Amino acid sequence: MTDSLLPVFLRLTGRSCLVVGGGAVAWAKTARLREAGAWITLIAPFFHPAPASLQGDTAIEPILRAFEPDDLNGRALVIAATDDPAVQREVSGRAAALGIPCNVVDVPERCDFTFGAVLRRGPLQIAISTNGQFPLLAQRLRDRLQ
């Protein structure tokens, strides 16, 4: 039996979230969290340049170093967006122990939640999910609705 997901829309305005990673995917997830009003700390030993839309955003704090367990303290949710499986396991395991929802990019079996493809028109939001299995299909369906 496949895990079933509960579709929810989280209120993250002003809440503290953690993104572990500094590449393009980490920045993309950061942008999604900022759209929801979250305050984000990014932790990584190096960072790709921030997208123009996020440069100078004072609600984003990049910290140049490796992940430490205390980085999870006080977080509403966490995203592990690294290409290091050991770091991903550590982040998701520690988040689980603390009861913090965690998304491990490209590893659906380690995710408490996934990001759907979202279509926004003013207050209307339509999210499409494939349970983390076929993200390109979800994006194509969203694009057709647009």
Full-model pTM = 0.89
CA-to-CA distance for 110 and 3, rounded, in angstroms? Answer: 12
Q: Which residues partner with 120 through β-bridges?
A: 125
Q: Which band of pLDDT confidence, cut at 50, 70 and 90, is reported for residue 1?
A: very low
- CB contact set of 105 (below 8 Å; sequence gap of 6+): 21, 25, 29, 79, 80, 81
User: How many residues does this entry show for the chain?
Assistant: 146
Residue 53 has pLDDT above 50, yes or no: yes
Q: Which two tokens stand for residue 81?
A: 């967006």
pLDDT band at residue 119 using 50, 70 and 90 as cut-offs: confident
Residue 20: which of 62, 64, 79 has the closest Cα? 79
Q: Give pLDDT, residue 2.
A: 56
